Amino acid sequence: MNYNLLIENLTNPALLFFVLGIIAIYLKSDLEIPPNSSKFISLYLLFAIGFKGGQELSHETFTAEIGWSMIFGIFISLMIPLYTFFILKSKLNVFDAGAIAAAYGSVSAVTFVTAVSYLESQQLDLHGHMVAIMALMESPAIIIGLLLISIYNKEDAGKINKASVLKHSFTNGSVLLILGSLVIGCVANAKQAEGIKPFTNDLFKGFLAIFLLDMGITSGRKLKSFFSYGWFPILFAILIPLLNGSIVAACSSMVTNDIANRFMFAILAASASYIAVPAAMKISAPKADPGLYLPMALAVTFPVNITIGMPIYFIIVQSI
């Protein structure tokens, strides 16, 4: 196990800003991000993730394997929130169950980057289309999460038109932005796209740090509610990612024999989003408690994946 890699990622500035936000609350500081600025940063992150994924996709030579890999990635992103929602709904309210299911069906960009470093330590290279697949896997989980919240929200029972729910899920601002950015990034003229690259690439980590500071402040205000749910959220955040990652590591051989791609699929299935999904839920499902789904994804699942998850998934893809 690479402890240097673990230390490097646990000292990532973006993660430390999340911790700073929590500390600020416990110190009773008046530190806060203005609501309008917070919404702008949320939209920016969705835009940047989608556009970068589209750019990566435009550089790939499309093959049948890439096509099946994309379908496989979307399938994973649809199935995980579907089955986890009903596990979560047995213990939590509909809003929290939908948000957590969406987070675990979606992916973590930071975990993805960490996995790339792990691949490099194993003398393996990342294939560019996996970045596009990562971006493609953001939206389906958000859509399913919003759909499930809308369908099972008893407060609005009898008022919901299922067709309008589906339409709203695809036309929701957060979903539309990341999907639209993916398409635009893919079809954009390469020379023209270079002009906004500093905005989508160079500024991303800075905006991510401010976003996580805001999420830390939000989580800090509601962290007591996380512990009030008992052991269920903690056990879920440990066991479900390991289960998802291990199953996908084994099943990914159906679409590709490349060990690096299979390992990345396992990481995508095991990780939980704390960028795109919180940004979307902050806008679309404000009743969902970020003090629950953010600590689960960031404080539990992320360290579990980079400490014991990655070696397990890598062993599976090598042996099957």
- When pLDDT is cut at 50, 70 and 90, the band that residue 268 belongs to is very high
Which residue type occupies 19?
A: V
- When pLDDT is cut at 50, 70 and 90, the band that residue 238 belongs to is very high
Domains of the chain and any CATH numbers: 34-319 (1.20.1530.20)
- When pLDDT is cut at 50, 70 and 90, the band that residue 1 belongs to is very low
What's the rounded Cα separation, in Å, for the pair 207 and 175?
Answer: 19
CA angle 221, 303, 129 (to 5 degrees): 110
Contact 149, 98 (CB under 8 A): yes
Residue whose tokens read 């740090």? 209
The stretch 202-208 carries a mean pLDDT of 84
- When pLDDT is cut at 50, 70 and 90, the band that residue 266 belongs to is very high
* pLDDT tens, position by position, 239-261: 999 999 999 999 999 999 999 99
The stretch 143-154 carries a mean pLDDT of 87
Q: 16 vs 85, which has greater pLDDT? A: 85
**What pLDDT is attached to residue 168?**
61
**What pLDDT is attached to residue 3?**
58
Q: What percent of the chain has pLDDT over 70?
A: 90
Total residues belonging to the chain: 320
Contact 270, 260 (CB under 8 A): no
Least confident of 33-47, 146-160, 263-277: 146-160
Q: 171 vs 293, which has greater pLDDT? A: 293
- When pLDDT is cut at 50, 70 and 90, the band that residue 123 belongs to is confident
Give yes or no for residue 118 having a pLDDT over 50. Answer: yes
Give yes or no for residue 7 having a pLDDT over 70. Answer: no
Range of 52-61, 204-213, 245-254 with top mean pLDDT:
245-254
Tokens of residue 57, six digits: 């996709």
- When pLDDT is cut at 50, 70 and 90, the band that residue 158 belongs to is very low
CA angle 308, 310, 316 (to 5 degrees): 105
Residue whose tokens read 């990341």? 178
**What pLDDT is attached to residue 206?**
87
Dihedral-angle region of residue 230 (phi above 0 means left; psi in -120 to 50 means alpha; beta otherwise): left
Give yes or no for residue 79 having a pLDDT over 60. Answer: yes
